[in-house]
């Protein structure tokens, strides 16, 4: 069985010849001792790019890449700034924090049966570490892991949510669920869910944006933000956070780890389906080569 190749969750902050020079130029222009935040805009990004002779087709991508894909340069981190967040349309802010990423700590692992129906499970990789975010969420629901983790009866409301929220711009959620406790009022709890594949880190800014979305569109309801991440050993990490819109104030309130076990019948069907898929791909490749 081919295992997914391990990669760094973020690329080093000194490798990018586009994003890093632009962000450093903005930082050096605006930084002053003892300040806690540095605000900048798309216009600042465009001006720095022009000054440095760098061509960037999408200025907003500078923020996205440096926030999620790249470790911030040491010059910025050494002064205590670890978070980049959007604070409006075309407006951004560097903020002080220990780290923009939240690590999944090791701990006791609960084994659970993989209850994904065979007609579905056979089309997912045998190794859960190779499954993407949406596939991961499907398996989690079939296995009722959110119910076990939260103590609530959980219902899926929407997937791939993307909406604007006042004060932060666009918020994106992998999934939005509602949970109901065993109590008379049955008032639903809002569960914004962030799913992360094995090569993606849990990011403070994304979790805080999910909270802002839930508090804005479901005012008055209890919000319990949750992240689910699979690691390279196919362990599922569940993290529940406090409901804050400030990334630096996020903390893990509860965590759990699960490992799913496949039955022999599931393994046989998965391997059979993967074998047929490989054969089909081989035939397609041979047909294209003949043409």
Of the candidate ranges 28-32, 105-109, 213-217, the one whose mean pLDDT is the lowest = 105-109
Sequence-distant (≥ 6) Cβ neighbours of residue 102 within 8 angstroms = 201, 202, 203, 204, 207, 227, 239, 250, 252
**22 near 64, Cβ under 8 Å?**
no
Q: Which helix (H) or strand (E) segment is 77 a member of? A: helix 74-77
Q: Please determine, for residue 131, whether its predicted confidence score (pLDDT) is greater than 80.
A: yes
pLDDT for 96 equals 93
Q: Which residue has the tokens 């949510």?
A: 161
pLDDT for 1 equals 45
pLDDT for 7 equals 57
State in words which class domain 109-264 has: alpha beta
pLDDT for 194 equals 96
Q: At what angle do helices 19-30 and 42-52 cross, to 10 degrees?
A: 110
Span 96-102, mean pLDDT? 89
pLDDT tens string 24-70: 999 999 999 989 999 999 999 999 999 999 888 888 888 887 876 67
Of the candidate ranges 52-56, 64-68, 123-127, 132-136, the one whose mean pLDDT is the lowest = 64-68
Of the chain, the end-to-end C-alpha distance in Å amounts to 32
pLDDT for 57 equals 81
Confidence of residue 3 (pLDDT cuts 50, 70, 90): low
Sequence-distant (≥ 6) Cβ neighbours of residue 71 within 8 angstroms = 10, 11, 12, 13, 77
Span 171-198, mean pLDDT? 89
Q: Please determine, for residue 257, whether its predicted confidence score (pLDDT) is greater than 50.
A: yes
Top pLDDT among 105 and 226 is at 226
**Closest by Cα among 259, 225, 229 to 242:** 225
pLDDT for 184 equals 64
Span 121-138, mean pLDDT? 92
Span 135-140, mean pLDDT? 96
Q: Please determine, for residue 80, whether its predicted confidence score (pLDDT) is greater than 60.
A: yes
Q: Which residues pair with 130 in a beta bridge?
A: none
Span 249-271, mean pLDDT? 92
pLDDT for 19 equals 84
Confidence of residue 223 (pLDDT cuts 50, 70, 90): very high
Quick one: tokens of 10? Answer: 């973020």
Span 243-270, mean pLDDT? 92
Q: Please determine, for residue 240, whether its predicted confidence score (pLDDT) is greater than 80.
A: yes
pLDDT for 105 equals 86
**How many CB atoms are closer than 10 A to CB 143?**
18
Computed over every residue of the chain, the mean pLDDT equals 88
């Amino acid at each position: 069985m081919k295992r997914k190749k391990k990669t760094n969750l973020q690329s080093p902050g000194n490798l990018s010849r586009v994003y890093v020079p632009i962000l450093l130029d903005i930082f050096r222009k605006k930084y002053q001792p003892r300040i806690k935040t540095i605000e900048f805009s798309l216009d600042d990004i465009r001006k720095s790019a022009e000054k440095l002779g760098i061509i960037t087709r999408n200025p907003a991508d500078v923020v996205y890449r440096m926030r999620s894909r790249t470790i911030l340069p040491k010059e910025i981190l050494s002064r205590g700034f670890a978070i980049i967040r959007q604070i409006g349309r075309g407006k951004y802010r560097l903020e002080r924090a220990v780290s923009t990423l939240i690590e999944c700590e090791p701990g006791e692992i609960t084994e659970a049966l993989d209850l994904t129906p065979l007609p579905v499970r056979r089309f997912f990789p045998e190794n859960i570490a190779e499954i993407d975010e949406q596939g991961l969420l499907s398996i989690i629901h079939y296995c009722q892991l959110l119910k076990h983790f939260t103590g609530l009866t959980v219902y899926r409301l929407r997937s791939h949510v993307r909406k604007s929220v006042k004060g932060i711009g666009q918020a994106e959620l992998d999934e939005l669920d509602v949970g109901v406790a065993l109590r008379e009022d049955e008032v639903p709890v809002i569960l914004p869910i962030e799913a992360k594949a094995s090569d993606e880190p849990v990011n403070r800014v994304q979790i805080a944006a999910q909270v802002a979305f839930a508090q804005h569109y479901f005012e008055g309801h209890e919000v319990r933000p949750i992240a689910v991440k699979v690691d390279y050993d196919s362990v599922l990490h569940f993290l529940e956070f406090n409901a804050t819109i400030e990334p630096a104030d996020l903390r893990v309130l509860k965590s759990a780890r699960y490992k799913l076990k496949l039955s022999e019948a599931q393994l046989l069907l998965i391997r059979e389906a993967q074998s047929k898929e490989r054969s089909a791909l081989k035939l397609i490749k041979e047909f294209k080569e003949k043409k």
